[in-house]
């Protein structure tokens, strides 16, 4: 079991008691998620108008990175538009149509965390100084470049990128978690009945966890008719009544998850999963004083990539929803 330490009421100003909060099923779920967590090569983009130089850069880094190649700044921008963010960009400075510094400056607004490296055989001092000072270039390397030295620079750049991404994601997680908890409180205060709060809560959960579909459904002995539904594409069928994970969540009052349904022999043949295109399903029981009041279903059309802290947030947020339902039922 994974313990979570939560503050209890203060004894005096600045002094708190702490209790250990455990989620028994979290170990099992975390192991399932780890089975999908395969390390992947970071992506990098190399840009040079000389084919021989471009091939040399590709051969230098292909073992350690997923390398994309572009022979001009224009082509590189098109490639980024289809491939998305890369960890590192290495660009030649002197190219027709667009200088390396101009190309790199155009990538900053959309990909601020990407590390940018310029290769130059010229002393374009003004362009380079301006690019470096404005944060558009991480480092410039003069030609002819030494493979070992360039590898060392790129490795440091990739590590810096990972650190920046981690900090950015932590900030985004904190903001989304705060927004979710705020929305639960706001919806509860504004709602006059349980039925009225189900859909806005389902929407808040669905958007926070980037789910393709989310259903928050009341349970009164069995699944009740009252439900709130969120769909990222505007349409979703409620098949929870025939779903084995939902039945298990109600019976055990524990979170249930299938992180990769097509690879799960017990679930891959279930018609409701194949028909809906659902590849990952997380079902959270909404429990108040050992009585199950509802279930929260999050559905994705790709394998699940939730982190452990997100699972903890889901569990704690479901408890808040349970308290809200209990209060509205009075």
115-120 and 88-92 strand pairing? parallel
Angle of CA points 184, 7, 325, to nearest 5°: 25
- Round to whole Å and give the CA distance between 21 and 302: 31
**Strand ranges (DSSP E) for 111-178?**
115-120, 139-142
For residue 256, give the nearest of 2, 7, 25, 3 by alpha carbon: 25
For residue 68, give the nearest of 159, 100, 78 by alpha carbon: 78
Hey, what domains does the chain have and what are their CATH numbers?
42-163 (3.40.50.2300), 191-329 (3.30.450.340)
- Round to whole Å and give the CA distance between 5 and 21: 6
Residue 291 bridge partners (DSSP): 288
Least confident piece of the model among 108-112, 121-125, 182-186, 261-265: 121-125
* Tokens standing for residue 210: 């980037």
Other beta carbons less than 10 A from residue 176's beta carbon: 16
* Tokens standing for residue 77: 């921008």
Tokens 């979710």 belong to which residue?
180
- Round to whole Å and give the CA distance between 289 and 309: 24
In tens, the pLDDT along 125-179 reads 666 666 666 557 888 888 888 999 999 999 999 999 999 988 888 888 788 888 8
- Round to whole Å and give the CA distance between 210 and 106: 28
In tens, the pLDDT along 211-256 reads 999 999 999 989 999 999 999 987 889 999 999 999 999 999 999 9
């Amino acid at each position: 079991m994974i313990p979570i330490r939560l503050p209890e009421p203060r004894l005096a100003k600045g002094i708190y008691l702490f209790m250990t909060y455990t989620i028994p099923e979290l170990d099992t779920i975390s192991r399932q998620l780890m089975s999908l967590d395969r390390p992947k090569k970071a992506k990098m983009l190399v840009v040079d108008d000389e084919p021989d130089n471009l091939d040399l850069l590709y051969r230098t880094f292909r073992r350690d990175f997923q390398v994309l190649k572009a022979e001009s700044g224009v082509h590189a921008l098109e490639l980024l538009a289809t491939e998305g963010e890369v960890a590192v960009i290495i660009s030649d400075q002197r190219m027709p149509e667009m200088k390396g510094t101009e190309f790199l400056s155009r990538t900053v607004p959309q990909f601020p965390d990407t590390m940018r490296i310029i290769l130059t055989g010229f002393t374009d001092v003004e362009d380079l100084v301006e690019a470096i000072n404005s944060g558009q270039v991480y480092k410039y390397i003069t030609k002819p470049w030494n493979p070992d030295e360039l590898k060392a620079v790129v490795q440091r750049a990739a590590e810096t990128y990972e650190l920046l991404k981690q900090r950015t994601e932590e900030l985004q997680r904190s903001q989304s978690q705060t927004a979710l908890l705020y929305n639960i409180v706001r919806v509860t205060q504004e709602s006059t009945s349980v039925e009225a709060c189900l859909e806005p809560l389902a929407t808040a959960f669905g958007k926070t966890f980037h789910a393709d579909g989310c259903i928050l459904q009341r349970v009164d002995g069995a699944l009740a008719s009252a439900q709130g539904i969120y769909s990222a594409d505007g349409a979703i069928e409620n098949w929870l009544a025939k779903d084995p994970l939902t039945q298990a969540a109600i019976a055990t009052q524990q979170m249930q998850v299938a992180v990769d349904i097509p690879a799960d022999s017990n679930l891959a043949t279930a018609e409701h999963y194949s028909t809906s295109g659902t590849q990952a399903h997380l079902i959270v029981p909404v429990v108040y004083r050992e009585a199950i009041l509802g279930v929260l279903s999050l559905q994705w059309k790709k394998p699940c990539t939730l982190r452990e802290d997100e699972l903890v947030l889901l569990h704690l947020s479901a408890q808040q929803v349970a308290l809200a339902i209990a209060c509205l039922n009075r």
